[in-house]
Structure 1
Amino acid sequence: MTGYDAVLFDSDGVLVEPPASETQVAATRAAFREAGVDDVARRHLDDIVSGVTVEDLHEICADYDLDPENFWEARERHDERSQFDAFRAGTRDRYDDVTTIADLPQDRGVVSNNHHSTIEFVLDAFDLESLFETYYGRPKTIESLRVKKPDPHFLERALADLGAGSALYVGDSEHDVIAAHRAGIDSAFVRRQHCPDGALSVTPTYDIETLSALPEIVA
């Protein structure tokens, strides 16, 4: 489909470089230490970083006799702080081809699994606010894990904000493609350096190497 009403973008891995896995593991370990737990199984750290569910989080917290709400508040706080520090230090940056977005005639939005407050930080830090009419990240709550992509919840909210009947969602993961399809819109999978040869179980509408391909796609 062409002639889109709107173009939506993921943030990490599409607009800005994604957080390093070890940085997220360190932030999660810091949250455990704050809760009084120094010896944490690596599999539990990896599970939390790689996309923990509400049920899995409760099970992990039960293993260490932790209150899930208190632990998650600490984890999200440490994780967000580590991201802000990386951006400020210049170890995470904006992708150069993001300037292409300014040339698109469609309304634009951001939909991310990252914290809503982190998306606000990114848009401000890299002077991207003027490029987007709406944006969504998730609140830093346990319940927000239920509506992370591939759930289309925040995509649908962005589409409603823009009054878009047809749209394209640009992402860098299989979850992005699935979320787009569940929302009834097209998808573009961008193959950044961290996912150049990734095999997907679902087929995106477009498979691109750079955001510079978008103007021709949405024309």
Structure 2
Amino acid sequence: MASGRYDTVVFDADGVLVAPTDPDTSRLAIEKAFRTFGVDRPQREHVDALVGVTPEELARICETYGVAPETFWPERDRHLVRAQRRALHRGQKPLYNDVATLQSLGTDRDLAIVSNNQHETIEYVLGFFGVEGLFETVYGREQTVEGLRRKKPNPYYVERALSDLGVRNERVLFVGDSNCDLAAASEAGVDSAFLRRSHRAEYALDTRPTHEISSLTEVSDLRPGTG
């Protein structure tokens, strides 16, 4: 491997490789999940919270409706998986054009994905766009409460990806578009690049990333610790 550059690049998926899922798509899927348990009119704040919920919030919300989190969460995810597949087929969740640069980036680097989306969804997205061959290892979360606990900012899946690849942390870059991505990278002991696409134009960062970029075309020029 060449010196002075990253040998491994790990990417978030939504907002980095593919457009984020519309929050309204997620809300409708969550409302369908509630109806499975006989709840026709869940509180709007609960539906909103369940778009990006913590395990503690999930437990409190489920207690309100008398449903076990371990029962509700897989049903919520099942509806989200279906909704995101429909969004893909309707052209509502496109692949970003600059993902094409990964073809050349991956010729002499290992590429991976670690996403907070369901693993089933990430695999479907990659197959839908025919880019699954670009990545050496891919992790989305399991559709369980334990998978929810393990999602970023928890470094669990990042560390699993690095273990799969057998790489040195100082030569790894994580590219993400959220504070939880930056936190997971920091906890895993790897450099980070914050990708500020248009949907993140006004996004405030809690911590300073190693790098900040506006396109994936910039990744190949980044060097360890030189942000």
TM-score when scaled to structure 1? 0.96
Structure 1: gaps (5+ residues): none
CA contact (8 A) 1:2 1:217 kept: no
Which position in structure 2 is the counterpart of 1:186?
191
Match of 1:8 in 2: 10
In 1, Cα distance between the equivalents of 2:4 and 2:222?
A: 7
- The one of 126, 131, 140 aligned to 2:129: 126
Count of matched residue positions in the alignment of Structure 1 and Structure 2: 218
> 1:30-88: per-residue Cα shift (whole Å, max 9, x none)?
100111001211111111112x2222212211111123222222111111100000001
Aligned partner of 2:209 among 201, 204, 210: 204
**2:147 corresponding residue in structure 1:** 144
Change (3 A) 1:83 1:2: farther
| Residue type of the alignment partner of 1:111 | V
Deviation at 1:2, TM superposition (A): 4.3
SS at match of 1:198: coil
Change (3 A) 1:177 1:18: same
How many angstroms does 1:218 deviate by? 4.8
Map 1:69-148 onto structure 2 (within 5 A). 69-104=70-105, 105-148=108-151
Map 1:11-50; keep pairs closer than 5 Å. Answer: 11-50=13-52
Whole-angstrom CA distance in 2 between matches of 1:40 and 1:130: 41
| Identity %, equivalent residues | 48
- Name which of structure 1's ranges 1-10 and 111-120 shifts more when overlaid on structure 2: 1-10
Deviations 1:113-163 (A, max 9, x none): 001111110111111111110000011001111111011111011111111
Q: Counterparts of 1:10 and 1:185 in 2: how far apart (Å)?
A: 14
> What root-mean-square deviation, in Å, do the aligned CA atoms of Structure 1 and Structure 2 show?
1.4
Between 58-67 and 208-217, report the one with greater CA deviation: 58-67
* Aligned partners of 1:11 and 1:119 also within 8 Å: yes
Amino acid at match of 1:44: H
CA distance in 1, matches of 2:127, 2:95: 12
Q: Which runs of 5+ in 2 are unaligned?
A: none
Counterpart-to-counterpart distance in 1, 2:4 and 2:122:
28
Give the Cα–Cα distance (whole angstroms) in 2 for the partners of residues 44 and 139 of structure 1.
22
Task: Kindly provide the amino acid, as one letter, of the partner of residue 131 in structure 2.
Answer: L
Distance in structure 2 (CA, Å) of the matches to 1:3 and 1:93: 30
Moved over 3 A (4+): none
Q: Secondary structure at the match of 2:72?
A: helix
Separation in structure 2 between the aligned mates of residue 2 and residue 43 of structure 1, nearest angstrom: 48
Q: Distance in 1 between matches of 2:36 and 2:68?
A: 12
